[in-house]
Amino acid sequence: MKSIGMRFALVLAATVLALLPRNAAATSVTLNAYDVKEFEYFGDDEETAYWYCHTSPVRLRNLTIFDGGVPIQWWIDRAGIEFDTSSIPDNANVTSVTLKVYVKQGFELNTVDVEFTRVPDPLDAGGGSACYGRWIQIGNNPVYTTDNILYGYNSISLGTDAADDLEDQLGDDFFTVGLKKKYEGLYDDYYWAELAEWNYTYPHQLVVTYVVPDPEYSRPASFGEETSSWGRLKDLYR
Ligand SMILES: [Ca+2]
């Protein structure tokens, strides 16, 4: 004979099963980065500054060049990582985004705090001005999260703002993350990190978890008007 507790548990389990939306299982995909770039600022003021970008090495760092003990030039490197999201359905609800960033080497890595920022454009967008544009975006745009990075793979949960941005861009088939040192431009801060380039053995990855919503129920017109019970079934089981 079943105990009261067991009966309650069975009823509870049956109720939960009946209330769960159908076909709403979460899917998780791991995407490899297909573009990784370093964006570099070099100059001592706005007039003489220039920017360029390249695919290797990809470093997060700042340098100051001194002349007679006087800092005469800044050199600040930021990075961007881009993913192709075309394998995720455009109507998916994105529930989590985790960046796995691979660090090849660095200097005093345990002190390198990194800001992971929103970049709403592909890395190459803008043609010749892309280097300047991405450098500015990575530095000025909202920060998803800040974390320390060490040698090897680092798993960074980018949070709900990143999930919302990725979801909003599913029709555009790309997602880009900017990386910069949290503390840039300090005279005595020579610490830096070098990230894996786009074709390195251990690629940067993006783990995306999402749910594809059920298609909306619609009653074929050929069913006629005698369909009230179907309407109620729909309400019960969706
Ligand atoms: Ca898409």
- Give pLDDT tens digits for 1-50: 456 666 666 655 555 555 555 557 999 999 999 999 999 998 766 667 78
The pLDDT tens digits of the residues spanning 110-161 come to: 888 999 999 999 999 887 788 899 999 999 999 999 999 999 999 999 999 9
Report the separation in Å between the CA atom of 92 and the middle of ligand 1, taken as the mean of its atom positions: 9
CA pair distance 84, 40, nearest whole angstrom: 24
- Nearest to 212, CA basis, from 48, 98, 36, 87: 87
Q: How far apart are CA 79 and CA 192, in angstroms?
A: 12
Nearest CA among 94, 68, 79 for reference residue 39: 79
| Phi/psi at 138 (5° precision) | -60, -35
Q: Quick one: pLDDT at residue 24?
A: 74
Closest CA to 94 of 34, 147, 169: 169
Q: Is the pTM of this model over 0.95?
A: no
Domain membership of residue 224 (yes or no) is no
- Asked whether residue 38 is assigned to any structural domain, the reply reads yes
Tokens of 26: 């979460």
Taking 3-state DSSP, the helix, strand and coil percentages for the chain, each rounded to the nearest 5, stand at 25, 40, 35
Distances from the Cα of 25 to the Cα of 93, 98, 152, angstroms: 11, 19, 32
Residue 169 CA to ligand 1 center (angstroms) comes to: 8
Domain count of the fold of the chain? 1
Q: Is residue 11 part of a domain?
A: no
Q: Of 115, 99, 77, whose CA–CA distance to 192 is shortest?
A: 77
Q: Rg of the chain over CA atoms, in angstroms?
A: 25
Instruction: Give the model's pLDDT for residue 7.
Output: 66
Provide the token pair at 51: 């920017």
Residue 92 has pLDDT above 80, yes or no: yes
Distance CA 115, CA 139 (A): 9
Q: Does a structural domain hold residue 230?
A: no
pLDDT, one tens digit per residue, over 179-203 is 999 988 765 567 899 999 999 999 9
Q: What separation in Å is there between the alpha carbon of 129 and the centre of ligand 1?
A: 26
Q: Where residue 107 sits, what CATH number does that domain have?
A: 2.60.120
Has residue 226 been placed in a domain? no
Distance CA 77, CA 48 (A): 17
Torsion of CA 23, 33, 130, 53, to 10 degrees: 170
Task: Specify if 179 maps to a domain.
Answer: yes
- Read off the tokens for 231: 């309407």
CA of 192 to the centre of ligand 1 (A): 35
Cα of 86 vs centre of ligand 1, distance in Å, is: 4
Boundaries of domain holding 192:
22-211
Where is average pLDDT lowest: 63-67, 83-87, 218-222?
Answer: 218-222
Q: Domain for residue 220, yes or no?
A: no
- Name 34's Cβ contacts closer than 8 Å, sequence gap at least 6: 82, 83, 84, 198
Q: Give the Å distance between the CA of 96 and the centre of ligand 1.
A: 17
167 CA distance to ligand 1 middle (Å): 9
Ligand 1 centroid – CA 41 distance (Å): 33
